Structure 1
């Protein structure tokens, strides 16, 4: 049975989409989760997907979120920490997806929201929203999470194959030609916007290797933002990976 891969259909997912297109359902089946990280976590918890490809990169606009536990909520906490706001004073209304968030600022039921910059830009161009600031994520954009019951070898094979598509997408040749055409045809973005985005983004070369300092820095930021609480004695970074699948670097 193919692995059920939950994902958000955004330009960041292009290597995964190229993988799925070539795979033709033999080893993976994509399950779209338009509401983002919160929906991915929910479906993973309910065993509706085997693997969650979570995008944690939100570099924009506060008040409304897509779902509880979403990147839009987490980044709001990060922004609050940066501004010195107590996390317990931050309250949120859920609007499910980007469309709901856009509608909420236009009907004045909320003042602002946070979403990834280039994903939001088409609505900026159409005049439906305006940018008021940015909050860069203090961690890499992607997280891959899987059900504990997922076959280890199948998961390793998925990550190995995905790595090859990521490296191809990240190559200088693809950046100059193929990527622009692929993203333009799949998402309708203008070439100028795609080229600008390509200059700001990088991809890991090996999805089976996780830098230890990345995990520790991420946990530190989340703890300071009040999102997670460190156990007595501090975090043990090895608890956050499956050593049968990936390795720390």
Structure 2
């Protein structure tokens, strides 16, 4: 019998990816690591197209992708693991010379820049609007336009050119550009759920019913757990890796380490987290109650 091919794992090339790199470097994870700087929305397209087998990305992006009523076929993937336990801090940014944007409140009815429809940056726009009371049945679209810009650089350029008024991206990834004066911080918002999940293609998750996880995914969990433990035990090594390979300063890397909490065991997903996320996304208008794939159908585990 032919040996199974190494996994193709999609990831966002930010500081959060450090334990994944440690799993490959120090613990023999047999996988190709494929960066997706444009984020979770792009990985959803890639896993559905068969370009990657597994993705590590933002909770709200994966759940929104699976829960939409127009999700194609079997959805293309299932939630199989948890990566980061702590919430994500999304920084809210505008251009360096946009004096009319004075606060988060001034963003109501403005143009939001997002990486892709269904991405975390898109979903969190609705969460922001819901928290500020801008959403209602009579006003389901709280922004005047949603501008799809694909990647972080395009988002930064757009708020300076006026193509978009604001966008949201992870705080420490944005901070470098506040420090340089390229963009300006308006505020921030935290995800009301644990921030990073692991998904596998429907095929590797055991089919649409999710009966058995592929052994390569199980091996990923074991190696990634070791990578996370190594990350915790070797903080200076983590700082050096982040500063050398992921375009952050050592100071910012150390500050980030104080805020992030990785899980002890990556295998498995808490159904309550998914239900709570679905509930917020329904309230925010991203998902529709009674439509699309329900929370329990998004999750698989070994022997489920």
Provide the TM-score with structure 1 as the length reference.
0.89
Q: List runs of 5+ in structure 2 lacking aligned partners.
A: 60-87, 93-110, 205-212
Tell whether the 8 Å contact from 2:268 to 2:301 is kept in structure 1 after alignment: no
Question: Per-residue CA shift, 1:64-104, capped at 9, x if unaligned?
Answer: 01111111001101101111222334331111100000110
Distance apart, 1:110 and its partner CA = 1.6
For 2:289 and 2:259, the matched residues in 1 are separated by 32
**Aligned residue in 2 for 1:60:** 91
Other structure's SS at 2:34 match = strand
Distance apart, 1:235 and its partner CA = 8.3
Any residues of structure 2 matched to 1:80-95 within 5 Å, and which? 80-86=129-135, 87-90=140-143, 91-95=145-149
**Selected match of 1:11 from 12, 15, 19:** 15
Question: Per-residue CA shift, 1:130-151, capped at 9, x if unaligned?
Answer: 1110011111110111111126
Distance apart, 1:238 and its partner CA = 3.0
Q: List runs of 5+ in structure 1 lacking aligned partners.
A: none
For 2:166 and 2:296, the matched residues in 1 are separated by 37
**Aligned residue in 2 for 1:144:** 198
**Aligned residue in 1 for 2:45:** 42
Distance apart, 1:237 and its partner CA = 4.1
For 1:235 and 1:2, the matched residues in 2 are separated by 30
- Alignment: residue pair count: 241
**Aligned residue in 2 for 1:238:** 296
Tell whether the 8 Å contact from 1:124 to 1:130 is kept in structure 2 after alignment: yes
Any residues of structure 2 matched to 1:126-141 within 5 Å, and which? 126-141=180-195
For 1:221 and 1:163, the matched residues in 2 are separated by 29
For 1:59 and 1:227, the matched residues in 2 are separated by 18
For 1:7 and 1:236, the matched residues in 2 are separated by 25
For 1:235 and 1:10, the matched residues in 2 are separated by 30
Any residues of structure 2 matched to 1:1-249 within 5 Å, and which? 1-22=5-26, 27-56=30-59, 57=88, 59-61=90-92, 63-86=112-135, 87-90=140-143, 91-150=145-204, 152-169=214-231, 171=232, 173-175=233-235, 177-231=236-290, 237-244=295-302
For 1:195 and 1:29, the matched residues in 2 are separated by 28
Greater strand fraction, Structure 1 or Structure 2 = 2
For 2:286 and 2:265, the matched residues in 1 are separated by 28
Distance apart, 1:4 and its partner CA = 0.6
For 2:165 and 2:256, the matched residues in 1 are separated by 26
Tell whether the 8 Å contact from 1:124 to 1:131 is kept in structure 2 after alignment: yes
Other structure's SS at 2:91 match = coil
For 1:174 and 1:3, the matched residues in 2 are separated by 26
Question: Which structure would you say has the larger RCO, counting Cα contacts within 8 Å and 6 or more residues apart?
Answer: 2
Provide the TM-score with structure 2 as the length reference.
0.74
Distance apart, 1:191 and its partner CA = 2.3
Tell whether the 8 Å contact from 2:27 to 2:226 is kept in structure 1 after alignment: no
